[in-house]
Structure 1
């Protein structure tokens, strides 16, 4: 007869549980082919195309884990987040085939989007190169506008290094996946970009807000204005959140940290505001390297960004 062992629980489950508290990670439900929900989540663990050293392939797992740090209750709104997050898992990434990986992201997300199980999507990178394939898949049957929170234009040419994390929006414009007038960049930072790419953005009608612009206007007011403009021209709006838009004090786990960036509260408020609009239906979070993070600070901000998106959905729809 097998003897029971006192006080032991399965590995990873011997944690404190408050009967009145639901942790945010409990909202995640694995995709089983038959369930529907409010939000779909996909991990895209790619960092090989990064210009600088990056362990961003580990970020999807780190962000999911960081959800354990938060509850589902918004005291500011006086509500519990109950939206079910259908977790489709992670797209397979080949160790060396960068071009193939971008194609796998495109094809994998095509399949995911066609399940029609949810109406809103959260994509966890990975470096910023994943946004090219993700937005391309999202724009297959609709016109898409993009609000990009970023310190960099990510409009580098592809001749000097191929499709890197510095090229996704150049490729989207060159391939006519999106129109320049439907791309808005917020948080572009000094001494972080080349003159040629600033000129390229202007030439193609991209709307650019630098950190200097944010000294006279709030990020939230800019996001609200640009979303209303985009909503008149496109079918759906996609948020692309490069975590290095934040000052290095708020996001030490980004490969390209630097001073002079945005504070986390400004970003979170903007995401909540944006997600309250019915045409904002997808968001990616990119450029976190958990191997260089400090006490998971950056992954925790990313998890909070995810929750802010959900709070905005509940507020406005």
Structure 2
């Protein structure tokens, strides 16, 4: 007997000609290969402000249901699977143990070689330290292009390994060199003078929002990759969603005016993905409990979709 019942969680309506990007997500199995691999990193305990960023991996995956697989501007219909490794299991109380688990999980994902590009769905920005450690262990020297309103070079003495310290820790532990860190989108009234001076003392390349407005993200990324490609084995993109103006990213815990618009961020991503040395990206600092109509998660999902598309052009 036909019953008017559908399996729980499936779309209320299915058009026979329409495929949603969420349908491309395939749980990892031995031997699976895809355009990109995804790993959720649901950690927000180290945040120095209230944050529900641990809910973001699920929110971003859900937002993929809002995108079809057809990219009208290029006539491209996405078919390659996106291999989903699931989420790292965090320790209920220990931040350091959670960070160690992230390094272990990322290293295990990389050894499977399921895709040429890895996307980490954070989580707060503290996850970047652990992820970059894994890339250094598995892939060699790492250069980072960081899209962010903040330097995230806070000292570790005042609060330990927080979401404000990931790049300070990478520098202090010798995992990366300052000359191999490029920051784009750093904003007025969002950082302490001491941390800007620390960045410059360490040889970090700092591009402010004034640079973004005058030169464009594509040009800044192009210049950054030219600087990095002869010095590193792998280039890692770190996208803190608060690089966007607060009008576009209400779900970021540290929103403020004067940031990028989504098109500027996408231009930077498009330029970066032209280069085969760019092998990974994390997307961090979304709190779905603060978001409005999933605006911030939807932009993050678009970054995932565009990455999958551009890797197959």
Q: Normalization by structure 1: what TM-score?
A: 0.96
RMSD over equivalenced CA pairs, Å: 1.1
Counterpart in the other structure of 1:126: 123
Q: Which runs of 5+ in 1 are unaligned?
A: none
Counterpart in the other structure of 1:16: 13
Counterpart in the other structure of 1:73: 70
Q: Which runs of 5+ in 2 are unaligned?
A: none
* Aligned counterparts of 1:184 and 1:227: Cα–Cα separation in 2: 9
Counterpart in the other structure of 1:103: 100
The secondary structure found in structure 1 opposite 2:215 is coil
* Aligned counterparts of 1:113 and 1:164: Cα–Cα separation in 2: 25
Counterpart in the other structure of 2:142: 144
The secondary structure found in structure 1 opposite 2:312 is helix
The secondary structure found in structure 1 opposite 2:91 is coil
For the Cα contact (< 8 Å) 2:35–2:308, is it kept in 1?
no
For the pair 1:6 / 2:7, whether they are aligned, the reply is: no
CA distance 1:296–1:14, shift in 2 (3 Å): closer
1:271-305, CA deviations, whole angstroms, 9 ceiling, x for partnerless residues?
12211211111000000000010000000000001
Match among 32, 36, 49 for residue 35 of structure 1 = 32
Counterpart in the other structure of 1:159: 157
How far 1:14 moved relative to its partner? 4.9
For the Cα contact (< 8 Å) 1:223–1:274, is it kept in 2?
yes
Q: Normalization by structure 2: what TM-score?
A: 0.97
1:115-152, CA deviations, whole angstroms, 9 ceiling, x for partnerless residues?
12222100000000000000110111411110000000
* Aligned counterparts of 2:272 and 2:11: Cα–Cα separation in 1: 38
For the Cα contact (< 8 Å) 1:276–1:314, is it kept in 2?
no
* Aligned counterparts of 1:220 and 1:130: Cα–Cα separation in 2: 26
The secondary structure found in structure 2 opposite 1:86 is strand
Tell me how many residue pairs correspond in the alignment.
Answer: 312
Match among 45, 56, 59 for residue 59 of structure 1 = 56
Moved over 6 A (4+): none
